[in-house]
Amino acid sequence: MKRLLIIFAFGTIAALAAGLWITRPLSVDVAQVASLSGSAEDGEWVFHLGACASCHATPGGDKTVLAGGREFTTGFGTFVAPNISSSRDHGIGTWSQADFFNALRQGTSLNGTHYFPAFPYASYARMSDTDIANLWAYMATLPASDRPSEPHRLTFPFNLRATVGVWKALYLRTAFVGPGGDTERGRYLVEAIGHCGECHTPRTVLGGLQNNRWMAGAPDPSGKGKVPGITPAQLDWSEADIAYYLETGFTPDFDSAGGGMVAVIEGTSLLAPEDRAAIAAYVKALPPAQ
Amino acid sequence: MKLFLVLTLSAIVATATSVVAGGHEGNPAVKARQAHMNLYQHNLNILGNMARGNVDYDAAAAQAAADNLVALTTLSQAGYWVPGTTNAELGDETRLLPAVFEADSKARQIGGELVEAVAALAAVAGTGSEAVGSALGPVGASCTACHRAYRVSNN
């Protein structure tokens, strides 16, 4: 009996260790990304479409100072956006380009731990090498802030970063979800940089996106109101209507955008018109979902 | 017999309740706010559809719509933007968030920006659809500034 218990205990430990190993934080191939040389100029639109400032700029502060501090209250606890300015002490000023790739593609931090997926790396993982390198170059030109990052306030067991390894095994997929072909450019802008699915797609109880209900709408992350579905089952706007909304914030009947969508439109209003048109074409091509 | 009585009484109560609910007029402040917003929207529709090229540009109609917007911004709205009539107290009847009445509310400042943006729009509304399109930008920016912070999100 005692022997059985010992075997059981060792078995449990071994299974746990194997589980932790399988779900360990992964890193990108440094050799593959180290030689990339991004263009800050070409990274600016990526920064705007990615709406980095909407989470990482201090509320009420300058949009180019990514000092952090905005709080996000969720069912898992409160996340506090960290300082990702170019500060060497409090931001990401000491990072290498490979570290930045690890964050966006693998959700892995500088010290090799998992990031919580409140940071939408599951979308950014689809970004091209070029766009990540350009964004990295652009962000290096932004001002430093010495505002210290604050810890998240999460409930057990979600405060254990190791649990994110399981989440990643379940939900971190780089395959695109929506239609490609003629709408490939729009799909890339929406599903990778724009990370639109993070709010417009409902989630499972474990916080993963329900890809079979892609863009079908979800409760607003703020807890008040909702994020509407944007598939043809919910939205009957024309392509021109969608592009105009992303440019001006006006709906076809001249109501205005509100809530979290305002920050999105601050970014999309700065895109090239053909990119707004590409997003609109993709949205119209989405399969209806409920 | 007793069951019959209970069922009959229940039916009467249910009917009476629905009659009362049907006759419910809604909060007057909410109705006034929504009417005000509808008038903004109606006039923006005229201008926006010309700017987008959905309808032919008509200088007189554009000017009239812009002048209406100016008039709307000059009305006193103090009677219907009142604490106690937000989504927190009235639920789904209104999308107004209580933050609008808090000490750090930017609503008054944004309202001031709207007055300026609408005046600038009226100054050029008669000169062509492109000018209307450009002047609608700052108007839309003040709409979204308020809707971002003080309206329950659904878009």
In CATH, what number is assigned to the domain containing residue B136? Answer: 1.20.120.10
Give the confidence band of B3 by pLDDT, cuts at 50, 70, 90: low
| Residues of chain B positioned with their CB less than 8 A from the CB of A263 | 148
A115 and A187 housed in the same domain: no
Does the pLDDT of residue B19 top 50, yes or no? no
Give the confidence band of A83 by pLDDT, cuts at 50, 70, 90: very high
| pLDDT score of A77 | 92
A58 and A97 housed in the same domain: yes
Q: Do the domain assignments include residue A141?
A: yes
Does the pLDDT of residue B18 top 50, yes or no? no
- Cα B51 to chain centroid, rounded: 22
A51 and A137 housed in the same domain: yes
Does the pLDDT of residue B91 top 70, yes or no? yes
Tell if the CB–CB gap between A256 and B140 is shorter than 8 Å: yes
Contacts of A161 (CB under 8 A, 6+ apart): A113, A114, A116
Tell if the CB–CB gap between A258 and B44 is shorter than 8 Å: no
Chain A interface disruption, residue of B118, B144, B152, most A CBs within 10 A: B144
Q: Do the domain assignments include residue B97?
A: yes
Contact B155, A258 (CB under 8 A): yes
Q: Do the domain assignments include residue A290?
A: no
A166 and A196 housed in the same domain: no
| pLDDT score of B24 | 57
A149 in B contact zone (CB under 8 Å): no
Give the confidence band of B66 by pLDDT, cuts at 50, 70, 90: very high
CB atoms inside a 10 Å sphere around CB B85: 21
A11 and A135 housed in the same domain: yes
Q: Do the domain assignments include residue A261?
A: yes
Closest CA to A124 of A91, A83, A172: A172
Low-confidence winner among A21-30, A133-142, B87-96 (lowest mean pLDDT)? A21-30
Q: Do the domain assignments include residue A9?
A: yes
A98 and A217 housed in the same domain: no
Start-to-end CA span in chain A (Å) = 54
State the average pLDDT for chain B.
88
Does the pLDDT of residue A189 top 80, yes or no? yes
Give the confidence band of B131 by pLDDT, cuts at 50, 70, 90: very high
Residue with the larger pLDDT of the pair B127 and A7: B127
Q: Do the domain assignments include residue B18?
A: no
Q: Do the domain assignments include residue A34?
A: yes
Average pLDDT over residues B105-114: 95
Sheet containing A71-74: order of strands: A71-74, A77-80, A153-154
**A132 — phi, psi (to 5°)?**
-65, -45
Does the pLDDT of residue A15 top 90, yes or no? no
| Residues of chain A positioned with their CB less than 8 A from the CB of B95 | 225
| B146 has binding-site annotation | yes
Give the confidence band of B5 by pLDDT, cuts at 50, 70, 90: low
Q: Which of A171, A190, A214 is the last residue of a domain?
A: A171
Contact A101, A134 (CB under 8 A): no
Q: Do the domain assignments include residue B48?
A: yes
A159 and A224 housed in the same domain: no
| Residues of chain B positioned with their CB less than 8 A from the CB of A250 | 44, 48, 136, 140, 143
Look up the ipTM and state it.
0.75
Average pLDDT over residues B89-114: 95
Q: Do the domain assignments include residue A116?
A: yes
Q: Which of A171, A206, A224 is the last residue of a domain?
A: A171
Rounded to two decimals, the pTM is 0.86
Nearest residue of B to residue A235, measured between CA atoms: B155
Q: What percent of chain B has pLDDT over 90?
A: 81
- Inter-CA distances, A147 with A56, A70, A81, A159, A288, Å: 12, 12, 12, 23, 45
Q: What percent of chain A has pLDDT over 70?
A: 100
| B36 has binding-site annotation | no
Cis peptide, bond prior to residue A288, ω within 30 of zero: no
Contacts of A20 (CB under 8 A, 6+ apart): A162, A165
Does the pLDDT of residue B9 top 70, yes or no? no
Q: Do the domain assignments include residue A27?
A: yes
Q: Which of A140, A171, A202 is the last residue of a domain?
A: A171
Does the pLDDT of residue B115 top 90, yes or no? yes
Q: How many domains does chain A have?
A: 2
d(CA B130, CA B52): 9
Task: Give the pLDDT confidence of A23-55 residue by residue, as tens digits.
Answer: 888 888 877 888 899 999 999 999 999 999 999
Q: What percent of chain B has pLDDT over 70?
A: 84
Does the pLDDT of residue B16 top 70, yes or no? no
Average pLDDT over residues B81-85: 96
A154 and A191 housed in the same domain: no
| pLDDT score of B4 | 57
Task: Give the pLDDT confidence of A201-226 residue by residue, as tens digits.
Answer: 999 999 999 999 999 999 988 777 89
Q: Do the domain assignments include residue B10?
A: no
Residue with the larger pLDDT of the pair A58 and B1: A58
d(CA A69, CA A145): 12
Which range of residues forms the domain containing residue B61? 26-150
Helices and strands counted in chain A (H then E): 13, 5
A9 and A147 housed in the same domain: yes
| B24 has binding-site annotation | no
A193 and A136 housed in the same domain: no
Q: Do the domain assignments include residue B83?
A: yes
Nearest residue of B to residue A230, measured between CA atoms: B155
Q: Do the domain assignments include residue B1?
A: no
Give the confidence band of B15 by pLDDT, cuts at 50, 70, 90: very low
| Residues of chain A positioned with their CB less than 8 A from the CB of B143 | 249-250, 256
Q: How many domains does chain B have?
A: 1
- Cα B21 to chain centroid, rounded: 24
Q: Do the domain assignments include residue B111?
A: yes
Q: Do the domain assignments include residue B20?
A: no
Which range of residues forms the domain containing residue A254? 181-285
Q: Do the domain assignments include residue A66?
A: yes
Average pLDDT over residues A181-195: 97
